[in-house]
Amino acid sequence: MAWWWWLLVQLLVWCCAGVVALLWWMWVTRPQVDIPGPPTWPIIGNVLDLLEHPLTLQKARDFHRQYGDLTRFYVGPKLVIMVAHPDDVQHILVTSKMVERDPLTTNVMRVIVGDGLLTLNGSRWKTHRRLINPTFHSELLGNFLEAFHEGGLFLSARLAADSRGGAAPADVHAAALFAALRSFCTTGTGVDPDLLIPDDLSEREVSAIVADGMTLLQKMMVRPWTRSKALLRLTPKGRAVFKYLALLRKRVEEVIAIRSAAKEDGPAKTRQRLLETLVKPGGQTAVPVSEVRDELVTMALTATDTTAICISYVLAVLALHPEWQDAARRELEDVFGEGGDYLRAASLAELASLRVLESIIKETLRLFPVVPVLPRMVTEDIWLSRGRLLVPKGAMLGVMPFLTHRLPQFFPDPLTFDPSRFLEGRGGEDHPCSYLPFGLGARNCVGSQYARLEMKVFLATVLRRLRFLPHSRREDLENAALSVTLHSIEPIQVYCVPLQESGL
């Protein structure tokens, strides 16, 4: 018996020694660069600097303040470089050939959303992008106005009910998430929203689960030992996230089955919806059916979450800045009139004339871009800082819009909420890459036009029906997690007071 114990101990010691030797070799051979950053520890790099959970934007701001527009740190042996200056942003996203997302992010996101635009690279990504681009074409947007208006009415009713006439604060993200999800069901799939939206969980539960899912992604990126699905399912938040994903995937599979069962398409159309493009009558799919499912899940999660985040921040800052809320409402009165038809659904022409509202959305996205990091894998050596610094192949570049948008040389008084900078042509035009709320280059947001129009319709609808008073403070809005999408640590809440003429 003692002999077997001795052999087991020896085997364990040699295995540990082998792992340490491998980790040490990876550390010694890691890519290095002449860019400032925090001091590193052997093997683990800067993991100790990133153990705060959830990791907030303040950590990245502190790094930027201390080390500048290019900041280097290591996640184990993985070299990661934060990028803030528009010159480098332009070189990375526009003029270089780098469109691949780094495995540090894609492998983690794949645990949640599977194989879709967010996680695919190479030829598979190009195939998905080529298929999906036309489904968000501007020619289709006019057909989506009715669905967006219905979503705005849903959002208005939910906010009014949650706030009980202004007596209690309403959780904006929960209501906006379901409003956006309902719109996506109609515009993206053509299916009744009630067939696709899981009803096993309340709106607040789903909102919390989505936020928890984003912080889980962040945790897995900086703590590789947490990436196992089995381990995640041992935690309450992990179980809740995977339960919701299972419900959503089941509903998506049912929608695919409904589309597959159709015998033929309806009248010929120049442009088709997302589901119509990916699945043909009879069940033929443009890509493997598992990727169709994952793509629809990806869109149902990301497209709706980003819209909900932006709506939440816009309403919160308007509550904190009543002068701009009043300016938006005066503009709405000018466009829609003050008679009995004031609450009508907006036309494309009316929406195009809402310049104040558009500037409010742009300024909110400047301060609080819903996608705070744009990751890229360095597939070949690249020179940054106007050719002064060489970044080697194998590193990961993290373009940081929330830092770029706050550089004072491009946005004077950058912390001030001032939509007039976009009304008066001071919206960072000095550099074409100083403002990138939807990304830039080949891998920009595929649904950016869709998102802009949807947010404008939602806001034009709710601002004609409700007045918003502050509950969340500006510091609450700033205290947000650094992850795939921007989520404040505390839920964003506002008081909603129905306007007399709204009829709510």
How much is the pLDDT for 325? Answer: 97
User: How many CB atoms lie under 10 A from the CB of residue 43?
Assistant: 16
Alpha carbons 51 and 230: distance in angstroms, whole number: 21
Residue type, 32: Q
The model's confidence at residue 429, banded by pLDDT at 50, 70 and 90, is low
| Phi (first) and psi of residue 190, to 5 degrees | 75, 15
Quick check: 502 pLDDT over 60? Answer: no
Per residue in 150-186, pLDDT (tens digit) is: 999 999 999 999 988 778 999 999 999 999 999 998 9
| Phi (first) and psi of residue 436, to 5 degrees | -145, 60
The answer to whether the beta carbons of residues 359 and 418 sit under 8 Å apart is no
Residue type, 121: N
Quote the tokens at residue 231. 């381990």
DSSP codes joined into one string, 76-142:
TTEEEEEE--HHHHHIIIIIS---PPPHHHHHHHHHHH-SSTTT--HHHHHHHHHHHGGGG-HHHHG
The answer to whether the beta carbons of residues 306 and 130 sit under 8 Å apart is no
CA angle 267, 270, 272 (to 5 degrees): 75
The answer to whether the beta carbons of residues 373 and 482 sit under 8 Å apart is yes
The model's confidence at residue 111, banded by pLDDT at 50, 70 and 90, is confident
* Cα distances (Å, whole numbers) of residue 104 to 108, 109, 397: 7, 9, 11
Alpha carbons 253 and 270: distance in angstroms, whole number: 26
**Residue 481, CA atoms < 13 Å, CB-side half-sphere:** 23
Low-confidence winner among 102-111, 147-156, 318-327, 346-355 (lowest mean pLDDT): 102-111
Percent above pLDDT 70 for the chain? 96
* Cα distances (Å, whole numbers) of residue 48 to 42, 74, 83: 11, 10, 21
Alpha carbons 481 and 483: distance in angstroms, whole number: 6
What is the 8-class DSSP label of residue 342? T
How many whole angstroms from its chain centre is CA 115?
17
Highest mean pLDDT among 90-94, 98-102, 235-239, 242-246: 90-94
Per residue in 311-324, pLDDT (tens digit) is: 999 999 999 999 99
How much is the pLDDT for 306? Answer: 93
Closest of 63, 177, 174, 58 to residue 481, by C-alpha: 58
Q: State the SS3 of 18-31.
A: HHHHHHHHHHHCCC
Exposed e or buried b per residue across 486-504, where buried means at least 16 C-beta atoms within 10 angstroms of its C-beta: bbbeebbbbbbbbeeebeb
Per residue in 118-134, pLDDT (tens digit) is: 899 989 999 999 999 98
How much is the pLDDT for 374? Answer: 94
Per residue in 43-69, pLDDT (tens digit) is: 888 988 888 878 899 999 999 999 999
How much is the pLDDT for 247? Answer: 87
To which CATH superfamily is domain 31-502 assigned? Cytochrome P450 (1.10.630.10)
How many whole angstroms from its chain centre is CA 112?
14
Low-confidence winner among 67-71, 338-342, 370-374 (lowest mean pLDDT): 338-342
Quote the tokens at residue 148. 């967006």
Query: Widest CA span of the chain, in angstroms?
Result: 93
Alpha carbons 439 and 275: distance in angstroms, whole number: 25
How much is the pLDDT for 109? Answer: 87
